[in-house]
Structure formats: C-alpha cells, structure tokens
C-alpha cells in the first residue's frame, strides 16, 4: 500500500509474498480444483461508479451502508450519532492511516493467518482493498449493516477484498453483504472475511453471493468467538462462478455459540466446494451446521461439514445436518459430514442425505392443482428456508429470492417444455 | 351438473419392503353427481384410502383395469394436478407436511393455478375469503403464516384440509376419514365446513370408519366396501345398521368370504 508510514504493513506483505511463492493449495475433500486459475499478480485499476446499478447506491439516513466496486470505495454512509458513539466504518486504506493499531492487532493475525495456504498468502501479499468495521463495546445496532461488494470484471484484473469485522464486548449487530460482479472478463476473486466476536457479543452475518460466470472465486470467512458470544452465519451461495471456500467458526471462549447455515444453488457447468467448519475449543460451546444444496443441470456441489471438538472442550455440543437435492441426473453432489472428536464429555450428531425432491410433498401440492414445476419450486424454496428465513428482511433478501426463482426456472426450462 | 363415475376399477400397489405388487381394489363401481353426498364405509385395510388416492391420481397406485370418468372423460393416466384443476379435491387421511411453505402462500398458488397467468387473485379478495372461511372453521389467524401442516395437531390438519376445500371450491370433494382423531367439538366444526359446501355445484364422497360422522353430515347414499369392492348400497339407515351389527355381521349376512383386519 502507498502509505510508507506503516512499517509493519510492508514487512508483513513481504513475508506473505515469500510464503506465497512456496505455499500449497488447501486440500478439499473429494474435489479437484488444482488446475483452476486462482492467482493474478496484476494491479487492479480504479473502477468507475457510473457503471453501477444506481439502485445499489440508494440509502436512507438511518442506514449504515457501504458500496465498494473493485478496489474503489463508492459509498460509506454511517449515521453521525453512531460515529460519535465510537463506531468505525472505513475502507482498508483509510484504516491503515487512521487506525493502524486496529490493523496491526487484528488484520490476519488472530483469526486467519497468511501462511495457512497459498491462497491466503497471495491474499495477504496482494490485497489492497477492504472494509474495516469496529463496533465498540455495548453498542447495539438496531439496523443491519448493509454492504454491497461489486467485482469489476469489465477488465481482466483480480478482485481482492478483505473484510475485518470487530464486535466489542456485549455489542450486537446484524451484517448483510451482497457480492456481485459487473462485466464478462475472466477474473479471479479472492475474498476474505475475518470476524472477531468479543465476549458476550451477538452477531448475525448474512451473505448473498452472486458472483458472475467468468470469475473464479476463492473465499474464506472465519470468526473467532470469545466467551459467551453468539454468531450465526447465513450464507446463500447463488454464484454462477466456479468457487471454493471455507466458512469457519472457532468457538474459543467458554459458552460461545456458533450456528453456520448455508445454502447453495448450482447450475449450468458450475462447480463449487465449501468446507463448513465449526471448531469447539472452549468448554460448554455449541457448534451447529445446517447446509442445504440444490443442484441443477450439469453442476457439481460438494458440501463438507466439519465439526471438530478439541481435547478439553468438555460439555460441548456439535451437531450438523447436510442435505442435497439433485434436480438433474447429470449433476454431481455430495454432502459429507465429518466429526472429529477429541473429548469424551460431549454431545455430537450428524445427518446427511442426497436425493430428489420429496414425492409425498410434491403429490400433496399437486393434488391442489399446482402444476409440477411450480410445486417443485415451492418445495425447493421450503427446503432452503432454514437459511433463507435467517436473512434480515430488505433489499438483499428480496434479491436473493429473485435470483433463486430465476435459477430454478432456468434449470426447469432444461427439463420441462412448459414452466 | 358434474358426474364422477368409477367403473370396474382394479388397482395395485407395490409393497415397498417386499417389492411385490398386490391388488387392493378388485372391481369398484360407483357414480356420484354434484348435489349428492355419498358415504363409503368399510373396515380398516379394505381399500378406502386406495380408492380415494386413485381417483385423485396419486402415482403410487396403479390402475390395472377399469375407468374413472369425470363428466364422461376417462381421467386414468391424467396427472394429479390436472385432475385437481378439473374439479377434484381429496382431503387426505394423512396430509403431507411442507416446511418452509406457508399456508397462505400455498393456498394462493392453488387458487392461481386455476386462473390465467396474467390474472392472479387480487390479494384483498383472497384475504376476505380466507378470513370468512377461517371464521367458519374456528381457526386461529396465526394458522395462515404457519408452515403447511408442519407441527399441526391431528385436528388442525383436518381443519386445514377443509379450509383448502372451501377456498378451492371443487366440484367433488373426497374426504378420507375426515373424522378420525377428532373430538365432538372439532367434528362439529369440520361438519359445518362440509355442509357449507353442500349445494347443486358440489358432490362429496365421504370415507369413514364410523357412523358417527354421518349424524353431522347426512349422506344421500351409503356404500359399504369390503375386500376391495363395494358390497352393498343403501341410504343413511345402512350406516346405522352397520353400527349395530358390525362389518362382520354384514359380511356373514352377505355370505362373503373376506377376512377383516380387526374384527369389530
Ligand atoms: N402405498 C401403499 N403401499 C403398500 N401397501 C399399501 C399402500 N396403500 C395401501 N396399502 C395396502 O392396501 C390395503 C388397503 O389399504 P387402505 O386403502 O389404506 O385401506 P383403508 O383406507 O380402507 O383402511 C392395506 O392392506 C394396505 O396395507
Ligand atoms: Mg384409510
């Protein structure tokens, strides 16, 4: 980054660059992606906000809203009252200038480390764009923080973005992000989100991922949970892009609770693999995973649910459910639950299923006159509801429902003459 | 006037565990016209649900011979949704649960399936009709936003089936043991719903194990089914007689060689 005052930053990037050169790609169970293009060392250019759908920029003054396009920050709106109460919302560049202490303390130091794998080293060495949000202790945000992250694929250039979300003790917040792209150029995206959940904080993190077809996406979302904190992930993977990534909750503090919900709808030739991890480290922690996938056309989707209870995490609970609906004979899907348990005094369970839509439900809806395609979409909506209903009401949620309907109808057109 | 005719209907099901098919219906004959209420009584396991599911078009039941005619058109082989749109309705003995789909959403989809794509039912009109019918069935307003049948008690499920029938207004309602598991108060409410449908444009085929329901919804015709066939037709008296003498009594009187699942 241009700011030469920040010494530690340059040093870290040099170290990351070295790690990047020798680093290895992460292993993903039952998924081959090693021949994908996932690195691009060119410098992205600034993006022109005129290309954005202007509806994205609409806000009301009560709202916290951020719009970033490629490496450019287009909008940051935060009610003055909250700024005065200590809320920090700024892009990464500004954070380095104005809050270097926060970056030095939290940026890829505690939650995610640069040397874990080659994709993260690359991220640490090259990423210049990002968003830093610091919610001070005891602050309770009534309205969700809404973030639009738009990749600029109007040129061939990498899209790197880093989100650092820090929730102080006893704070509570809802965070909603929407990832999308503009343009059709081939692009790599490498998007990392780190969440620091302070003691007794309450966080609901929702994400709608709608990354375009010619992008290849790597994402990593991870949270460290302090004592008695509560975190829910609601991830809706509705990309057209091929993608791999992790969603991870580290239940470090005693009594912390993490619930990771994810849905994915894959279509066309799309390929996706997600590791959904919850790691019980502290005592009396609760880690839940609920993943549901819908596969259309020739797509491939691997859902790995990984629940780990480390030695010493007594009185903890891990539970996971993985379900995949196969809507096409040409699709390949797998829901792999994995429980790694190193402690005796725990409760752990898992369930996994792969199959077609439930014929009993279908028959019931159709017996009321609802045609097959519509009934199928209703059953699928219902199937995905475990996650859909977790997203706060608003523009992003509406958008999600629209994309879902569009994807399902598109998939059905391949199979039925009339939809 | 609409007519539903079942002619010499033979039906098989494939036993999921044993992977063999067995014949359940062995030549059923029946004619129901709008304006009429028919009751079908019969012992457990005799094929009453099989008959109703087959008329409705559940793909698990295979018609091996015979016909089902709706206004003269043979509907065997027609998909279930099309039969529904042509005026058939089945209140199921065991309605499916569909988590994630609300009652309201479901009802609107069912009603709109009967209307042109570009002319969905106006929301106000829909809600007024829904309120009216829920009042009639003593249903709580909160039922509308609950997920379809999910976690409903037995009685709530039955009411919900009748609610759907009131909203959809079919020509023929097939009611499969709508009385089972209901206490007297709930039974009265459900009967009120069915009786509200009574009229020249509605015919019903009520399936029941007990005569009790017929005190509340008085049928024009009673059929008795045993061993996969209709063995006797009559008026409401026939139901009373059965109540007194039991199915075994009627079987012996008719000299039938049928084993009853639970002799009563
Ligand atoms: N879907 C099915 N699969 C296998 N056997 C069935 C199925 N439905 C019904 N049967 C069998 O058919 C017979 C008649 O059942 P049913 O029609 O439910 O009788 P009823 O409603 O008169 O009690 C029973 O022996 C039952 O076990
Ligand atoms: Mg039955």
3-state SS record for A288-320: EEEEEEEECCCCEEEEEEEEEECCCCCCEEEEE
Q: Pick B108 or B19 by higher pLDDT.
A: B108
Q: Which of B21, B22, B24 to mutate to test the pocket of ligand 1 (most atoms within 8 A of CB)?
A: B24
Chain B residue nearest residue A366, CA to CA: B81
What's the pLDDT score for residue B264?
45
Model confidence over B215-262: pLDDT tens digits? Answer: 999 999 999 999 999 999 999 999 888 888 888 888 988 888 888 876
What's the pLDDT score for residue A295?
95
A369 → closest Cβ in B84, B96, B100: B84
Question: How far separated are the first and last CA of chain B, in Å rounded?
Answer: 39
ipTM score assigned to the predicted complex: 0.94
What's the pLDDT score for residue A158?
98
Q: Determine contact, residues A274/A246, Cβ cutoff 8 Å.
A: yes
Residues contacting B111, CB < 8 A, separation 6+: B121, B126, B167, B168
Low-confidence residues in chain A, pLDDT < 50: 1
What's the pLDDT score for residue A395?
85
Q: What is d(CA A208, CA A180) in angstroms, rounded to the nearest whole number?
A: 9
Across A281-285, B105-109, B140-144, least confident range? B140-144
In what order do the strands lie in the sheet containing B3-14? Answer: B21-33, B3-14, B61-70, B73-74
Angle at A126 between CA A123 and CA A128, to 5 degrees: 100
- Using an 8 Å CB-CB cutoff, list chain A residues near B102: none
Residue with tokens 């939290």: A106
Q: Determine contact, residues A204/A229, Cβ cutoff 8 Å.
A: no
What percent of chain B lies above the pLDDT cut of 90?
A: 81
Chain B residue nearest residue A369, CA to CA: B81
Q: Determine contact, residues A179/A212, Cβ cutoff 8 Å.
A: no
| Cβ pairs bridging A and B (under 8 Å) | 80
Look at residue B140 and tell me whether its pLDDT is greater than 90.
yes
Which atom of ligand 1 lies closest to the CA of B60?
A: 1
Spacing, Cα A391 to ligand 1 middle (Å): 43
- Name the residue at shortest CA distance from atom 7 of ligand 1: B13
Model confidence over B248-261: pLDDT tens digits? Answer: 888 988 888 888 87
Q: What is d(CA B25, CA B95) in angstroms, rounded to the nearest whole number?
A: 22
Residue B139 Cβ < 6 Å to ligand 1: no
Number of residues in chain A: 419
What's the pLDDT score for residue B221?
96
Q: Hey, where are the domains in chain A?
A: 7-353
What's the pLDDT score for residue A5?
58
- Tokens read off for A345: 């005094």
Burial A107-138 (b: 16+ CB within 10 A, else e): bbeebbebbbbbbbbbbbbbbbbbbbbbbbee
Angle at A7 between CA A5 and CA A13, to 5 degrees: 125
- Tokens read off for B120: 């969905």
The pairing of strands B61-70 and B3-14 is antiparallel
Spacing, Cα B45 to ligand 1 middle (Å): 6
Across A2-6, A242-246, B25-29, B194-198, least confident range? A2-6
CATH superfamily of B3-93+170-254: P-loop containing nucleotide triphosphate hydrolases (3.40.50.300)
Q: What is d(CA A306, CA A289) in angstroms, rounded to the nearest whole number?
A: 8
Q: Determine contact, residues B173/B2, Cβ cutoff 8 Å.
A: no
Q: Which ligand is nearest to the CA of B45?
A: 1
Q: What is d(CA B247, CA A37) in angstroms, rounded to the nearest whole number?
A: 75
Model confidence over B61-104: pLDDT tens digits? Answer: 999 999 999 999 999 999 999 999 999 999 998 999 999 999 99
Q: How far is A391 from chain B (nearest CA, A)?
A: 14
């Amino acid at each position: 980054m241009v700011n030469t005052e920040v010494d530690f930053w340059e040093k870290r990037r040099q170290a990351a660059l070295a790690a990047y050169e020798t680093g290895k790609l992460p292993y993903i169970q039952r998924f081959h992606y090693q021949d994908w293009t996932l690195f691009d060392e060119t410098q992205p250019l600034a993006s022109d906000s005129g290309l954005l759908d202007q509806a994205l920029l609409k806000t009301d003054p009560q709202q916290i809203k951020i719009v970033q396009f490629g490496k450019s920050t287009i909008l940051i709106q935060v009610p003055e009252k909250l700024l005065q109460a200590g809320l920090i919302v700024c892009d990464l560049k500004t954070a380095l200038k104005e809050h270097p202490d926060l970056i030095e303390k939290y940026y890829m130091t505690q939650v995610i480390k640069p040397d874990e794998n080659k994709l993260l080293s690359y991220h640490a060495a090259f990423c210049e764009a990002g968003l830093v949000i610091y919610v001070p202790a005891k602050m309770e945000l009534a309205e969700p923080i809404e973030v639009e992250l738009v990749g600029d694929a109007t040129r061939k250039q990498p899209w790197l973005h880093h989100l650092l979300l820090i929730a102080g003790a006893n704070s509570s917040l809802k965070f909603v992000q929407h990832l999308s792209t503009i343009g059709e150029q081939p692009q790599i995206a490498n998007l990392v989100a780190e969440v620091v959940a302070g003691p007794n904080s309450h966080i609901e993190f929702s994400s709608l991922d709608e990354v375009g077809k010619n992008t290849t996406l790597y994402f990593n979302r991870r949270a460290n949970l302090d004592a008695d904190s509560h975190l829910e992930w609601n991830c809706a993977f509705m990309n057209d892009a091929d993608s791999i990534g992790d969603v991870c909750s580290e239940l470090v503090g005693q009594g912390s609770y993490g619930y990771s919900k994810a849905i994915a709808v894959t279509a066309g030739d799309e390929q996706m693999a997600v590791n959904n991890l919850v790691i019980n480290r502290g005592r009396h922690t609760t880690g839940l995973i609920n993943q549901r996938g819908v596969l259309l056309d020739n797509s491939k989707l691997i859902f790995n649910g990984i629940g780990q209870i480390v030695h010493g995490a007594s009185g903890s609970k891990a539970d996971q459910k993985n379900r995949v609906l196969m809507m096409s004979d040409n699709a390949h899907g797998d829901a792999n639950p994995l429980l790694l348990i190193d402690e005796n005094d725990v409760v752990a369970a898992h369930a996994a299923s792969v199959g077609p839509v439930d014929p009993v439900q279908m028959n019931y809806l159709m017996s009321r006159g609802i045609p097959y395609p519509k009934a199928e979409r209703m059953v699928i909506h219902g199937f995905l509801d475990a996650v859909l209903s977790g997203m706060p009401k608003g523009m992003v949620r509406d958008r999600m429902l629209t994309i879902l309907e569009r994807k399902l109808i598109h998939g059905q057109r391949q199979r039925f003459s009339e939809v | 006037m609409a007519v539903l005719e079942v002619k010499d209907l033979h039906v098989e099901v494939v036993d999921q565990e044993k992977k063999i098919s067995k014949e359940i219906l062995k030549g059923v004959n029946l004619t129901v016209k709008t304006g009429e209420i028919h009751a079908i009584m019969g012992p457990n396991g005799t094929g009453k649900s099989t008959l109703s599911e087959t008329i409705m078009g559940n793909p698990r039941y295979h018609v091996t011979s015979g016909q089902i005619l709706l206004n003269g058109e043979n509907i065997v082989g027609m998909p279930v949704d099309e039969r529904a749109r042509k005026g058939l309705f089945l209140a199921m003995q065991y309605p499916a649960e569909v988590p994630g789909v609300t009652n309201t959403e479901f009802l609107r989809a069912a009603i709109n399936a009967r209307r042109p794509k570009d002319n969905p039912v106006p929301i106000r009109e829909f809600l007024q009709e829904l309120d009216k019918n829920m009042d009639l069935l003593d249903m709580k307003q909160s039922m509308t936003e609950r997920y379809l049948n999910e976690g409903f008690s037995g009685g709530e499920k039955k009411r919900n089936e009748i609610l759907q029938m009131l909203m959809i207004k079919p020509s023929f309602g097939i009611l499969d043991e709508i009385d089972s598991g209901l206490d007297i108060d709930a039974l009265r409410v459900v009967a009120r719903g069915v009786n509200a449908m009574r009229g020249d444009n509605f015919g019903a085929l009520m399936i029941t194990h007990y005569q009790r329901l017929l005190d509340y919804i008085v049928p024009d015709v009673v059929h008795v089914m045993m061993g996969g066939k209709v063995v006797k037709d009559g008026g409401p008296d026939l139901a009373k007689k059965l109540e007194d003498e039991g199915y075994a009594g009627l079987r012996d009187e008719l000299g039938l060689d049928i084993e009853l699942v639970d002799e009563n």
